[in-house]
A and B are shown apart, each in its own frame.
Chain A
Amino acid sequence: MRNDVRDHRERLGLSQGALGIALGVSRQTVNAIEKGRYLPSLPLALALARHFGTAIEELFHPEPGDLP
């Protein structure tokens, strides 16, 4: 699943570590999400969307086969 977390983070001028602190997760977790290696839980995805002032659908973009 593609996502625009990195774009939104960089637009706010945040480092991965700073975003991690704001969301209560590690820098490595933010990095893994941005690279698509880790799909966050729904609560964390909601927290990300709220932090960026956007909707989950604007942040995460399912690819064919991602959805049930």
Chain B
Amino acid sequence: MTTQDSPTARRVQLAGMLALTAIAVVATWIGLGASEALFMGAVLVAFTVFVTLGRRRSDAIRAMSGIGDERTQMLSLRAGAFTAYALSLVIAGWWLVSVAQGEPNETISALGAIFAVVWVGATVFYARRH
């Protein structure tokens, strides 16, 4: 049984989100310039604040954070699985369209291959573990 979220987990998550924000801002600054980087930083900081403060008030936002009791984690897992399933359909559909047009998209082909390998690996891993 997983109990309520711990302050440590919340702090680690907040630090991770801020670190990702900093990395995204630096990458955007290098590639696109200062104004785009500041916009990117503002959006990511707003999302971080939204999750950090909103998780106390909303079940859905708590599930977005993935930190909480067993039901919160179940909701987060299901939402993640549904998102991955939807993304797999988009990648497969996009790849098929690009093949039918005679110009297979290399990025989509690579994403499809990575998705398939990770899915098979994860299935084997969890089947052996549980």
Do A and B pair up? The answer is yes
A residues contacting B by CB (< 8 A) are: 23-26, 28-29, 32, 38, 40-41, 43-44, 47
Whether A40 contacts B70 in the complex (CB less than 8 A), given A25-B3, A25-B4, A47-B1, comes out as yes
Assembly CA distance A28 to B59 (angstroms): 7
Assembly CA distance A24 to B74 (angstroms): 16
Beyond A25-B3, A29-B72, A38-B71, 7 extra complex contacts between A and B, CB < 8 Å: A24-B1, A24-B4, A25-B71, A26-B71, A28-B59, A29-B69, A41-B1
Of B1, B62, B70, which is in contact with the most chain A CB atoms at under 10 Å from its CB? B1
What's the dominant secondary structure at chain B's contact region? helix
Closest to B4 in A: A24
B residues contacting A by CB (< 8 A) are: 1, 3-4, 59, 62, 68-72, 74
Q: Shortest Cβ distance from A25 into chain B, in angstroms?
A: 4
Is A44 a contact partner of B68 (Cβ separation < 8 A)? no
Assembly CA distance A26 to B72 (angstroms): 9
Closest to B62 in A: A26
Is B1 a contact partner of A44 (Cβ separation < 8 A)? yes
Closest 10 CB pairs of A and B: A24-B3, A43-B1, A25-B69, A29-B71, A44-B1, A28-B59, A24-B4, A38-B71, A29-B69, A41-B70
Assembly CA distance A12 to B23 (angstroms): 52
Assembly CA distance A1 to B32 (angstroms): 55
Q: Shortest Cβ distance from A5 into chain B, in angstroms?
A: 14
Assembly CA distance A28 to B74 (angstroms): 13
Assembly CA distance A28 to B56 (angstroms): 11
Residues on B with C-beta less than 8 A from A44 are 1, 70
